[in-house]
């Protein structure tokens, strides 16, 4: 992200306070951030706040009408790699839908060619007005425009409903995806099925055999696929994160449940990625009631669980691509290649879990991609979202 260029347009709404976190996080990660505030936005947050967080002067309409070496809206429009408008108000939405430009923000939109990310925010009744929805749908027919939110919840007006601006945790990954893919929707029309997280094989209602997987890699894959235009179904074992808006999520606990859901949705998928850390064995017997400590077995009989990825491979049609993961220590390539060929996968991700800041629970990862044609791509340490994009690049390329 270091050195990338993001322009933030801030509209007049109470949700403008959320944009401060977006700007701060981007700046701390090395992104060059410039910001434009409308006159209405200045009623909610100050240019000084935005300038301090972005480490660069913030622009207002007053700056628009000052002399510059080149017109300010032209300069900013050409500079930006991604243009984010948050909060997007009903007023600005209407102007953009009809190509109107009467302030610095809207003039800069028309003077730019980069992807534009829209994060609407307004009262539920305002959002649901026929005219607003017409403008929204009309604007999204332009491939330049991408959206995040709005969500539903308690609004600042005390109304509970749709119109809540997306949280920074949703906006930031979308920005990163737009920077990587340059706004391309190269997975549009594709269905992507992803498994995520670590399954749990219960001995009784409170004890289970599990693993440290948090499902963050699966989440990143779902985000990347969604941002690139795919329809996404995510089968996830217990995880602490929220599912992105627009992703069909199915919660499971055990390997058997995951197998059932993956098989159920398999035929509709074009790309299937098994990133879940699925158990290899389970207790041979299950107690429906919590076992007293004195009755816990000293030797726990185990039995194997279904090999989900191997079973899916037997169902695979020629147009489908099935990708597996191999979390390994030490030599990661040899066992990954063995798994690739034995289980008849199209590709596999070999990732080390014994490297610093990599693997289970980490926000970052590193890997070697291998496919059945013999292609090999080594991915240096990066965020899991970046890794997800690299994997889709690999899948599309071969």
Q: Decide whether 5-181 matches 191-397 in CATH topology.
A: yes
pLDDT tens string 288-339: 999 999 999 889 999 999 899 999 999 999 999 999 999 888 999 999 999 9
What is the pLDDT, as a whole number, of residue 307?
92
Q: What angle do CA 140, 16, 131 make, to 5 degrees?
A: 35
Q: Regarding the domain delimited by 5-181, which CATH topology (the fold level of the hierarchy) does it fall under?
A: Rossmann fold (3.40.50)
Active site residue 157: yes
Catalytic residue, candidates 42, 114, 157, 382? 157
- Rounded Cα distance between 295 and 297, Å, is 6
Radius of gyration of the chain (CA): 24
On the question of pLDDT at 245 being above 90, the answer is no
Question: Annotation-wise, does 339 bind a ligand?
Answer: yes
Q: Give yes or no for a contact between 205 and 244, defined as CB atoms under 8 angstroms apart.
A: no
Question: Annotation-wise, does 160 bind a ligand?
Answer: no
pLDDT tens string 119-161: 999 999 999 999 999 999 999 999 999 999 898 888 888 888 9
What is the pLDDT, as a whole number, of residue 69?
86
Of the pLDDT bands very low, low, confident and very high (cuts 50, 70, 90), residue 258 is very high
Helices (H), 86-129: 90-97, 104-110, 124-127
Peptide bond into 87 cis (omega under 30): yes
Q: How many CB atoms lie within 10 A of CB 315?
A: 13
Q: How many CB atoms lie within 10 A of CB 29?
A: 14
Q: For domain 191-397, give its CATH number from 3.30.10.20, 3.40.1370.10, 3.20.20.80, 3.40.50.10300.
A: 3.40.50.10300
Strand partners, 274: 195, 324
Q: Give yes or no for a contact between 36 and 61, defined as CB atoms under 8 angstroms apart.
A: no
Residue spans per domain, the chain: 5-181, 191-397
Q: What is the DSSP letter of 295?
A: G
What is the pLDDT, as a whole number, of residue 158?
85
Question: Annotation-wise, does 392 bind a ligand?
Answer: no
């Amino acid at each position: 992200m270091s050195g990338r260029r993001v322009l933030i347009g801030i509209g007049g709404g109470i949700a403008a306070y959320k944009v401060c976190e977006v700007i701060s996080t981007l700046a701390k990660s090395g992104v060059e951030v410039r910001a434009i505030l409308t006159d209405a936005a200045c009623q909610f947050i100050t240019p000084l706040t935005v300038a301090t967080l972005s480490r660069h002067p913030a622009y207002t309409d007053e700056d628009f009408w000052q002399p510059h070496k080149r017109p300010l809206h032209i300069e900013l429009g050409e500079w930006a790699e991604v243009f984010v408008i948050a909060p997007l108000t009903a007023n600005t939405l209407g102007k953009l839908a009809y190509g109107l430009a009467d302030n610095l923000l809207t003039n800069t939109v028309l003077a730019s060619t980069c992807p534009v990310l829209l994060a609407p925010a307004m009262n539920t009744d305002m959002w649901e007005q026929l005219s607003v929805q017409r403008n929204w749908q009309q604007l999204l027919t332009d491939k330049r425009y991408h959206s995040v939110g709005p969500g539903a919840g308690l609004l600042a007006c005390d109304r509970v409903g749709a119109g809540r601006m997306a949280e920074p945790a949703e906006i930031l990954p979308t920005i990163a995806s737009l920077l990587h893919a340059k706004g391309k929707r190269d997975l549009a029309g594709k269905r992507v099925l992803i498994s995520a997280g670590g399954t749990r094989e219960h001995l009784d209602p409170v004890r289970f055999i599990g693993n440290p997987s948090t499902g963050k890699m699966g989440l990143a894959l779902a985000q990347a696929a969604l941002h690139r235009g795919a329809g996404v179904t995510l089968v996830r074992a217990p995880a602490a994160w929220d599912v992105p808006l627009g992703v069909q999520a199915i919660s499971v606990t055990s390997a058997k449940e995951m197998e059932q859901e993956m098989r159920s949705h398999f035929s509709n998928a074009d790309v299937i990625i098994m990133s879940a850390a699925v158990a290899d064995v389970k207790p041979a017997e299950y107690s429906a009631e919590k076992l007293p400590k004195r009755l816990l077995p000293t030797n726990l009989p185990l039995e194997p669980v279904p090999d989900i990825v191997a079973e899916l491979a037997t169902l695979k049609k020629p147009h489908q691509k099935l990708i597996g993961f191999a979390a390994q220590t030490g030599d990661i390539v040899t066992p990954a290649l063995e798994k690739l060929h034995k289980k008849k996968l199209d590709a596999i991700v070999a990732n080390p879990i014994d490297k610093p800041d990599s693997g289970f629970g980490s926000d970052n990862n590193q890997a070697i991609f291998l496919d059945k044609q013999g292609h090999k791509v080594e991915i240096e340490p990066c965020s899991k979202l970046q890794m997800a994009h690299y994997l889709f690049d690999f899948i599309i390329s071969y």
